Structure formats: structure tokens, C-alpha cells
Amino acid sequence: MGSITGRGGKSQEPICTRKADGPAQAYWQALLTGDRGIVAEILSDPQNNLSPNAVFDTSDLEEWKNYRFNLRRLRLWSLSYEQELTTPLHITASRGYTDCLRLLLLRGAAVNFAPGGKTALHEACAAPSTECVRLLLSFGADPEAVSEDGYKPLHLCKSPDSIECIQQLLQHGASVNSRTEEEDDTALHIAARHGLTDHVQLLLRYGAELEAKNEEGQTPLNAACAQPHQPQDMDRYYQVCQLLVESGASINAADRDRQYPLHLACKNANAQVAELLLARGANVNIMNYSGNTALHNILQATAYKLEHHPELVVRALLNYGAIRIWPGSLLKVLRYCHACPRVIEALMNSYDHVRISEDWVEAVPAEVVQKYPRFYQSLFSLEQRPRSLQHLARCALRTFLEGRLLLVLSQLHLPSALHRFLLLSFEDVLY
């Protein structure tokens, strides 16, 4: 009879497949519920012919849900069909059943066996279950084991609760700069991409490379800036980027498409990150391979990022000297960004004069005008009247100080209202 071996494992027990009654089914159910007593009873009875190293085939998900499994000896040719193999160790580690896991290990379960392409340690890290990780490592689990997909346990610590798992892995010799096989990510890329500040801090303390580049040419800072995130997660990603930058990450590291961190932060409409990068000297007007600047990126994303307040990004870019949109293109911008009138306000307030026509009125849907009547009425009225003298004075001063506006204003003792006005504070109306 043939035997089954997993990646990095050894010859193991026959596979438990579908449609069985009796001990095999009871064993499976006990493992799923973490019933240590029943597991111990089953393993103690030699007539059951079941061991801690049994392999379950869960290919049939419906049968799996019904817990119906059979014990059958398979020849090697049986691997020609797609199998999803697991073991008692994997089941208990993935569910955090520490007592059952310890029992299996004491009964001789092979700690690094991987019939389904990953070890129990991979499962425990993905769960995550710190106690299971600690237990597996104490029994000799390999912290550098590579799964069938090319991941080491460290690469599967992707949730906030997995911080202690990372700590355990690193203390047991996991390489902090190991790479995934396909993406070429380090653990720092993964932690940054998921906005995990504590993970980033811990990895840096263990010597993670700040400028390591993955398959797409991204550094961890690029990865953090590029990851789409919800408005409630913006502060987390800012903290990650702040930590990376303060640790020395290059703000001018471009990926394969010559997207810089600022380009990526603007695509995600994260004003905090954009301002962090700008304050550290990011080039506000540098272009990617598509010829887009950061301002182009935020304008293209505005309609899809309304809850992220894209107007804050537009204003920041303009205040840091972004080259303004050609006035002839403002109508096109209006068509795409009318749902966020403050973006239009910031752009309009960066020009002393813009020619308004009937096309502008037609570019804004009636329901949007009804939602923001005061702003759009003031915009459309500019077809017949000039901008206010106050606005023209602001434009003249901003033009004179172009490229050093923030530096100069920080040295002047201006009234706060005037300071905000010069930096394009929002009034929701155009004068």
C-alpha cells in the first residue's frame, strides 16, 4: 500500500475520507469541538486504529460540514485528484484548542507534518492563537517552515491579535527579513499593508529592512500607502507611515510604475499621510509612468473616496506648491468631482480668474445642485461677475510665495483667520 507524505513531513497514517460512521466520525467531531476527553478516549483504544497523525480529506465541503468521514487506504495515484488534507494537529491549532493540541503532541503527533501544504504552526499563526503557537514551538515546530503557497508562519500574522505570535516566532529564530515566494514580501511589507503599528514597531526592533522591495518594487512604506482602507482606518495607516518615516524610510522610493508614496497616499485619499510626506520633503509635482502627479491621482479618486474627505488632500497639495490644473481642464474635473464641492472650491480658489460658461451648469446634475445650492449658485454666478478683491489679494500673495508659502506663513504672526484664509480654508461658497 502507498503512503502519504506532506511537504517537510514523513510517511503518515491512512487518509480519513467521507461517508464513515463510528470512531472516525466521533474523532472528527471531538476535534472540531475541542473535546479533550473524547479525543483521549479514542486514541487510547487500539481497536479504533486512529492516531494523532491521522489525515482527513475535506475535499467535499458538504460532507465535511456533516462530519461524515471514512477510513480508507489510498495508493499514491489517489493524489491525482484535488484533495484538501488536514490533521488533528491542524484542526486544534487553527481553533485554539490548546488542551487538545497538547494531548496530541504528547501522544506523538508529528509537529511539522504538512499533508495539506502547511504546518499546524501556519494554522495557529493565521488563527491567530498565541498559546497554540507557543506550544507548537516548544515541541519543536519549525518557525521557518514554508507552506505550499510559499509563506512562512511569520507571513500569516496579519491581524492585530497576532502580535504575540510574531514575538514568539522571532524569539524562536524566525528570520525577520524572510520573503514570500511569489510576492517577495517581507513580514514588514505585510504588517505595513495591514496597518499594524505594533507589528511594524516589533519587526523594526528585530532589524526588519526598511527599504526591502517586493515583486512590484514596493518598499513597506509604499505598501502601506498603496493599501486601500476605510475612513475609520486612516489614523492607523498614518501611524504606520509615521513610524516608518521616522525610522528612516525613504519617501522618494518609487515602485515599478514609478508610483511614489505620495502618489499612492493620494489614490487612497489619506490626507494625514499625504501631509506627513509633504512635510518631509516629498516632491509634490513628480510624475509616475502614466504622467500623473499626486494632484491628478486624488482628482481621479475623489468620486470614489467621498467619505475620506479628498478635499483635504487637494488643499494640502495646492498649499505645498502643486502645479495647478490647466484652467481649460476644470470643466472635466467638475464633471468627475461635482459630488465633492469642496474639491472644486479649493481648485477655484487657487486661480484669480476662471472662465465660466453654460457648460459648467450642465456638468452638474440637478440633484447635486439641490444638495449644495449655496455653493453651486455662487460658482455659476461667476459667469457674470468677477472674484472679490479679497480673493484676488490672496491669489497675488500665494503666487508671489509659490513654493515657500508654508515656510513664510509660519514665520509671520498673522491672525488665525487670515492664516486660514491664505491656506484655502473652506467656506462652502465662492466670493
pLDDT digit string, tens, across residues 14-49: 555 534 457 888 999 999 999 999 999 999 999 988
pLDDT digits (tens, 9 = 90+) for 60-119: 645 444 443 443 333 233 333 456 899 999 999 999 999 999 999 999 999 999 999 999
List the one residue out of 84, 86, 158, 90 whose CA is nearest residue 122.
90
pLDDT beneath 50, residues of the chain: 1-12, 18-20, 61, 63-81
Rg (CA), the chain: 30
E strand or H helix at 271, and its extent?
helix 271-279
pLDDT digits (tens, 9 = 90+) for 377-394: 999 999 999 999 999 999
What span, in angstroms and rounded, lies between the C-alpha atoms of 232 and 307?
10
* Residues whose CB falls within 8 Å of the CB of residue 150, separated by 6 or more in sequence, listed in order: 180, 181, 182
SS3 219: coil
Q: Return the pLDDT at 197.
A: 98
Superfamily of domain 176-248: Ankyrin repeat-containing domain (1.25.40.20)
First to last CA, the chain: 87
What span, in angstroms and rounded, lies between the C-alpha atoms of 139 and 157?
20
> What is the reported pTM?
0.89
Determine the distance from the C-alpha atom of residue 305 to the mean position of all C-alpha atoms in its chain, rounded to a whole number: 17
184: left (phi over 0), alpha (psi -120 to 50) or beta: left
The answer to whether 267 touches 297, Cβ cutoff 8 Å, is yes
Beta bridge partner(s), residue 72: 15
What span, in angstroms and rounded, lies between the C-alpha atoms of 402 and 103?
71
Determine the distance from the C-alpha atom of residue 215 to the mean position of all C-alpha atoms in its chain, rounded to a whole number: 16
Q: Return the pLDDT at 22.
A: 78
Superfamily of domain 1-148: Ankyrin repeat-containing domain (1.25.40.20)
What span, in angstroms and rounded, lies between the C-alpha atoms of 167 and 170?
5
Q: Return the pLDDT at 81.
A: 41
Backbone angles phi, psi at 15, to 5 degrees: -85, 135
